[in-house]
Chains A and B, each alone.
Chain A
Amino acid sequence: MTRIPIVIDGRTVEAEPETTVAAALLNDGIWGFRSSVESEPRGPVCAMGICFECRVTIDGIPHRRACMELCRPGMEIETGG
């Protein structure tokens, strides 16, 4: 199957087919998806939509759960929010 071009923090990356945004970020070596109120890094814990730790901005919409979104061609993902 063909790989999916997505944009992570302005960089175009080829995601594996049928992967979630969380998996794509981890495959790209990113563990800190966002920052807590006290600026500590946060990343996926449950990977099933419950913990809300993996939130990122997707196509301009903040606080999307990375583990619950499949990668789509051209998707723009911003971490560190």
Chain B
Amino acid sequence: MTRRSHPDVVVVGGGIVGAACAWYLAAEGLAVLVLDAGFPGGGATGAGMGHLVVMDETEAQFALTSYSLELWTALANELSADCQDEPRSTLWIAADEEELALVEAKAEFYHRRGVAAEVLSSSELAGEEPELRPGLAGALHVPGDRVIYPPAAARWLLDRAVEKGAAVQTDCRVEEIGSGWVRTARGEKISCDLVVNAAGPEAPRLTSGLPVEPRKGHLAITERYPEFCRHQLVELGYLKSTHTEAADSVAFNIQPRATGQQLIGSSRELVGWDLSINRRLLAAMIRRAFDYLPRLAELQVIRVWTGFRPATPDGLPLIGPWPAIDGLWIAAGHEGLGITMALGTGRLLAECMVGRQPSLDPAPYEPARLES
């Protein structure tokens, strides 16, 4: 067996996106080295809820989320038990008649594209989720969505990449990326043919000019209360809050975990790299959840944490070549959809990198679209 002196591809970042890229690249027969600054899943991946969800804000967002969800669903029988993968439908909740009109438009969007979805009346919603406050207008039920435990899924993907010959180095922070090389914090310069910057919110630290900024979020998780909620519940106003230009916002979002725990989100703020808990915003987030689920106030939260989503100006990820540096590819900027989009991203990136016909039109995700 011949040994190459250096890898074909260095993937910077072993979060779920980098892990998926590594897997698909290794499956293409490339020699892949993954470098992670800490441990896989310790960054944005660990701050995600693991809601595998079809989204409909733009055609490009729909294309990547629905394709990725198909890939996740196809893996359901292979994922290890610690990935906690399970089908768990989403209820997009309309609080009033105005939001119910949005639910109907959303249903039509899904129907036209062949995604199962049904509009629930106020009483049907109450029947599905008895803990919700009475008087909500209705909901959109999307049965195909799923839940996963993101850090375990990232590790599983890395294990698959290793089976296909990839190497993974943890605690190996990359300080600089060049054309055909990376330099680590230990001072080692690693040569390679290609580099993938999959460093999530830290991606612009390594590729200057990359339009990604850290958008902080809070999560809270309760003790085990099986069956408190049965679906992933998201207020329709969530979509409004994700688009707001305001400094910070909260939206009601709760997810029942396979353990019986209830995972509560969500908040958004732009505060640089401050990971500390913002008690005012956390209180607003929790109050918002109590507003929808009054008895949630009786449940015990055991942990609260924060993390950063890698946000881009147009809400779509950056997947493709970075023209300024020869051989550099980007897979970053997925904001709150990185867990869902990881598989589609890895597959699309690998196809483009080896020159294969891509499964999706890559144009909407090309990083060059945002170059000023």
Contacts and interface: CB of A to CB of B under 8 A. Distances in A.
A62 interface: yes
Interface string B278-316: 000000000000000000001110100000000000000
B302 A62 contact: no
Contacts of B225: 62-63
A78 B96 CA distance: 40
Interface string A53-81: 00100000111000000000000000001
B302 A52 contact: yes
A37 interface: yes
A37 B223 CA distance: 10
Contact of B298 (A37, A61, A81): A61
B224 interface: yes
Given A37-B224, A55-B223, A63 B300 contact: yes
B2 interface: no
Contacts of A63: 223-225, 299-300
A81 B225 CA distance: 10
B220 to A, nearest CB: 15
Interface string B224-268: 110000000000000000000000000000000001000000000
Contacts of B302: 52
Nearest to A65: B300
Nearest to B298: A61
Interface residues of A, number: 7
A55 B302 CA distance: 13
Contacts, number: 13
B259 A62 contact: no
Contacts of A52: 302
A37 B300 contact: no
Contacts of B223: 55, 62-63
Interface in B295-343: 298-300, 302
A52 B301 CA distance: 12
Contacts of B299: 63
A55 B223 CA distance: 10
A23 B302 CA distance: 24
Contacts of A61: 298
Contacts of A37: 224, 259
A55 B225 CA distance: 13
Nearest to A81: B224
A76 B143 CA distance: 39
Interface in A17-74: 37, 52, 55, 61-63
A46 B212 CA distance: 46
A51 to B, nearest CB: 12
A62 B298 CA distance: 9
Nearest to B257: A37
B372 to A, nearest CB: 49
A37 B259 CA distance: 7
B81 to A, nearest CB: 11
A50 B191 CA distance: 51
A55 B298 CA distance: 15
Given A55-B223, A63-B223, A63-B225, 10 more contacts: A37-B224, A37-B259, A52-B302, A61-B298, A62-B223, A62-B225, A63-B224, A63-B299, A63-B300, A81-B224
Interface of A: 37, 52, 55, 61-63, 81
9 contacts: A37-B224, A55-B223, A61-B298, A62-B223, A63-B223, A63-B224, A63-B225, A63-B299, A81-B224
